[in-house]
Chain A
Amino acid sequence: MTLIRDLDNEPFAARYGCDRFTATVLANRYRYIVEHVCGQLLTAAFSPILRDFYDFAATLTGPPALGYPTPAMNNSILLFTGTMTDSVRNTIEEYGVGRLEAGDVIVANDPYRTGTHVNDLLFCRPVFEGGRLAAFINLKAHQLDMGGIVPGGFSLTKRNVYETGLVLSPRALYKGGEPVRETWSLIFDNVRFGEILFPDMQTVVAGLGLGERLLAETVERYGIAAVHGAMSYVCDAAAERMSLALEAIPDGEWEGEDASDCDGVDDTEEYRVHVRVVKRGGRAEVDFSGTSRQARSAINATALDAKSTVGAAFKYLFDPRSPFNSGTWRNIDIVLPEGTVVSALPPDGPVFLYYEQSQVMLGAMLRALSQAVGPAAIGGDRGTTDIHNASGVHPDGRPWVSAAQMGGEPGPFGATSNADADTWMLSYQANGIAGAVEAIESDVPAVVLREEPVADTGGPGYNRGGCAVMRDSLWLQPTDHNLMSLHYKRPSGFGVNGGGDGRNGGVWIWEPLDAKARRPSAGADSYRDAQPLAGVLHPETNAPDPDGVFHYPYRQSSWHTDPLSVLRYVNRGGGGWGDPFEREPERVMIDVRDGYVSIEGAARDYGVAVIGDPESDPEGLAIDVAETARLRGGRGRSDT
């Protein structure tokens, strides 16, 4: 088929119902529409999980007659992208196209139908034009609670569908602009915090109304033929970009694997994700054969989550700066055995921490594709979200909750050919705003004691991976801690192109001694008197050690601590890119000066001898050229 850029005006207009100018304008406009729908939610939502963690996404979807193309989805959370291309179609088809009327809002949340987890409620609003179904404006947004046995839902010990929460098959929330009371009641009779869900859901519906208005104005201005033609154009263009990018690399077959340590039942079984990527010309196939069966507790994901992550991996490597749409997947087929940890089925393959499997899948995909793309390979990030939740009761009886504030949430990226990686990020498939320490401390009876990178944990490389972050917190009242980390047995931050792996961390608690809080140092010898909760740790020092002992974090469903206990999270270093012995000694010395690499680490990991004291005389550091040449043994460079 002729490439889009080689189409003359007439064939272009015949294919897309408008000229190139209009197609360009409408492509932008679709993106603006979904951004505005999200902007409305972002500014007006009540819940911090929406506002700070962008746990929502909006899409514009074409009508059934066009096969429900998704020409625009906003860039808030990657985890939703692959699900929304399919879930809108599934939801509308199941509800019944013929039953739709203007002013409807259809909702659904079943992970096996719509992907992600039950808290993510999908809202679809049909947009009519002259009595004909023109499009859908859709939002999927995380709700603070969706019932089930754990408040808020964040737990990996839930055992089946009945424990994870309320499942909503497609149904109307509004019919012809009027609320459908039985749907609202079904939700509010089964979920907690209804007072907060209600305003959030109202905001979602207002956002859909805004999207509907903007789309209606667009149809009025450009006509329905152009609007629909441009939807096809946008998806075709994305498919073509991906296909051209695939053609640019040699054909081949590549395999990759990553795994979770355990599920929430016990640590007798690891859950691995295996992918085999076959690339021929502009086409690719990703086969998940060799992946573990579904887990017994809520760490599973579903097929649509696999689709999201496969798309994310291809975008990261082949088309990083353009937005997603349904055309992204046109030349990619995913082969997925049923009942795996990433294609779980009800009722016994419960889904909640689907995003942890998304991290594992991305690790497997990036490992496989790193063999295909040469220098464009990217090092692994910390490969898990490391969310920590805690709760307790104030002395006056008011309950308090700390959600995703004190664990290993901020951490490193992996390095790329471009440069060293940042240490302070969320993971590759998440994004969000970190709460300020001062804001957290004004709400939660806890004190953050330290938030710092740990030297030598970033994967060494010509470009270095970001370092693991150590975060210590002091808890002033009796507290129950809920852990959700699944990745200690193998490095998540894998190195590429000769770069080294990042180092793993763990979770520890120091109980108070003689009613006084202990103040652990940041050093490697600080762990001896700590109680290890998670990690692969040295049997005596309790410090992270790849040859050490695995501590299963869920031997208790939650960890209770007395007042004045100290909690420590160390997450994982990101992977390095390229041979560390090729790194300019000057850049290694700057890392020593800035505390990202120790003098010992510089010699061991980079073969660079740095002399001086970085702590007391940072500008007085120097490189011992002769010793560096000896350490590097003729490998790499020893000049600066």
Chain B
Amino acid sequence: MHSFPRPQELHLAARRTPAEGACPECGSEELADYRVLSEGGWWDVRKCQRCLHSLAREAAPPFGSYTPLGLEI
């Protein structure tokens, strides 16, 4: 997205999408998909919500949700 209107809500929340499966470390079925910023930049992760183990980590776009228009040409 190149241009971003000011959000209407006063306070914002990150979205976590519940995911199917079980954590190989702790066995919990409380898994979720979401985006995080960490070593190496932005990642789309599937993480256990109980022990924070990452089941998957895929590189996300370099600036998160922002894509300069020039880069779409």
Mark A residues whose CB is within 8 Å of B.
67-68, 85-86, 89-90, 93-94, 110, 112-113, 169, 235, 239, 269, 272, 274, 278, 280-281, 283-285, 287-294, 296, 303-304, 306-307, 326-330, 332-340, 343, 345-349
Given that A289-B12, A290-B11, A338-B64 are known contacts, is A94 also in contact with B71, CB under 8 Å in the complex?
A: yes
Instruction: Report the tally of A-B residue pairs with Cβ distances under 8 A.
Output: 124
The A contact surface, by secondary structure, is: mixed
CB contacts (< 8 Å) of B37 on chain A: these are: 303-304, 306-307, 333-336
18 contacting pairs across A/B (C-beta < 8 A): A67-B40, A68-B40, A89-B62, A90-B41, A112-B66, A113-B68, A280-B52, A291-B12, A292-B12, A306-B37, A327-B39, A329-B39, A333-B37, A333-B52, A334-B37, A337-B13, A339-B12, A348-B5
Given that A281-B51, A333-B38 are known contacts, is A293 also in contact with B13, CB under 8 Å in the complex?
A: no
CB contacts (< 8 Å) of B16 on chain A: these are: 335
CB contacts (< 8 Å) of B10 on chain A: these are: 269, 292-293
CB contacts (< 8 Å) of A239 on chain B: these are: 39
B5-42 Cβ-contact flags toward A at 8 Å (1 or 0): 11101111111100000000000000000111111110
Distance, CA A338 to CA B64, complexed state (A): 8
Distance, CA A161 to CA B32, complexed state (A): 35
Given that A285-B52, A340-B12 are known contacts, is A293 also in contact with B7, CB under 8 Å in the complex?
A: yes
CB contacts (< 8 Å) of B2 on chain A: these are: 346
Q: Are A296 and B6 in contact (CB under 8 A)?
A: yes
Distance, CA A329 to CA B14, complexed state (A): 20
Q: Are A90 and B52 in contact (CB under 8 A)?
A: no
Q: Rank and list the top 3 A-B pairs by shortest CB-CB distance, nearest first.
A: A345-B4, A333-B36, A337-B12
Given that A169-B68, A326-B39 are known contacts, is A336 also in contact with B63, CB under 8 Å in the complex?
A: no
Q: Are A293 and B36 in contact (CB under 8 A)?
A: no
Q: Are A292 and B6 in contact (CB under 8 A)?
A: no
Distance, CA A425 to CA B17, complexed state (A): 45
Other A-B pairs, 4, CB within 8 Å; known A292-B11, A335-B16 = A304-B37, A333-B43, A337-B12, A339-B6
Q: Are B64 and A85 in contact (CB under 8 A)?
A: no
Given that A280-B51, A293-B9, A347-B3 are known contacts, is A335 also in contact with B34, CB under 8 Å in the complex?
A: yes
Most buried by A among B3, B16, B40: B40
Distance, CA A235 to CA B38, complexed state (A): 13
CB contacts (< 8 Å) of A274 on chain B: these are: 11
CB contacts (< 8 Å) of B66 on chain A: these are: 112, 338, 345-346
CB contacts (< 8 Å) of B63 on chain A: these are: 90, 112-113
